[in-house]
Amino acid sequence: MYPAMALRHLISAFVVAVALVGALPAENDAASQARATAGELARRSAAERRSALESIKALWSPELRTELLAEGDRRFKSGDYPEAESFYSLGLTVAQGTADGAGVIAAQRLLGNALFYRQNYAGSERCYRDSLREAERIGDRRGIAAALNALGNVKARTEPAAALEFYERSLTLSRESQDPAGTARALNNLGNVCARTGDLERAIAFYQESLAIKEKFGDDAQIAMTVYNIGRLLEASKRYDEALDYQRRCLRLSESAGRAAGIVSASRSIGDIYVEQGKRLEAAAFYERSLKVAEQIGESDAIVDCRTKLDAIKKSEQAR
Give the pTM: 0.69
The parent domain of residue 110 ranges over: 30-118
Q: Over the stretch 155-210, which tens digit does the pLDDT of each residue have?
A: 998 898 899 999 999 999 999 999 999 999 999 999 999 999 899 999 999 999 99
CA distance 56 to 151: 34
**In CATH, what number is assigned to the domain containing residue 197?**
1.25.40.10
**231 shares its domain with 284:** yes
Residue 25 is assigned to a structural domain of this protein: no
Both 231 and 316 in one domain: the answer is yes
Last residue within a domain, chosen from 87, 118, 149: 118
Domain contains 6 = no
CA–CA distance, 210 with 230 (Å, rounded to integer): 11
Last residue of a domain, one of 189, 218, 247: 218
Among 196, 218, 240, which residue terminates a domain? 218
Report the candidate in 223, 301, 214 with the shortest Cα–Cα distance to residue 262.
Answer: 223
My answer on whether 246 and 259 are in the same domain is yes
Query: Looking at the 3D structure of the chain, how many domains does it have?
Result: 3
Spatial CA neighbour of 302 closest among 79, 2, 52: 79
- N- to C-terminal Cα separation, the chain: 76
Kindly state whether residues 214 and 227 are assigned to the same domain: no
Contact present, 72 and 117 (Cβ < 8 Å): no
319 and 232 in a single domain? The answer is yes
CA 123, 129, 133, 138 dihedral sign is positive
**Same domain flag for 163 and 229:** no
> Are 107 and 65 in contact, with CB atoms under 8 Å apart?
yes
pLDDT per residue as tens, the chain (320 positions): 444 444 344 334 434 444 444 554 544 588 899 999 999 999 999 889 999 999 999 999 999 999 999 999 999 988 899 999 999 999 999 999 999 999 999 999 999 999 999 999 999 999 999 999 999 999 999 999 999 999 999 999 889 889 999 999 999 999 999 999 999 999 999 999 999 989 999 999 999 999 999 999 878 988 999 999 999 999 999 999 999 999 999 999 999 999 999 999 999 999 999 999 999 999 999 999 999 999 999 999 999 999 999 999 999 888 87
* Gap between the Cα atoms of 250 and 235, Å rounded: 14
**Residue 239: how many other CB atoms lie within 10 Å:** 14
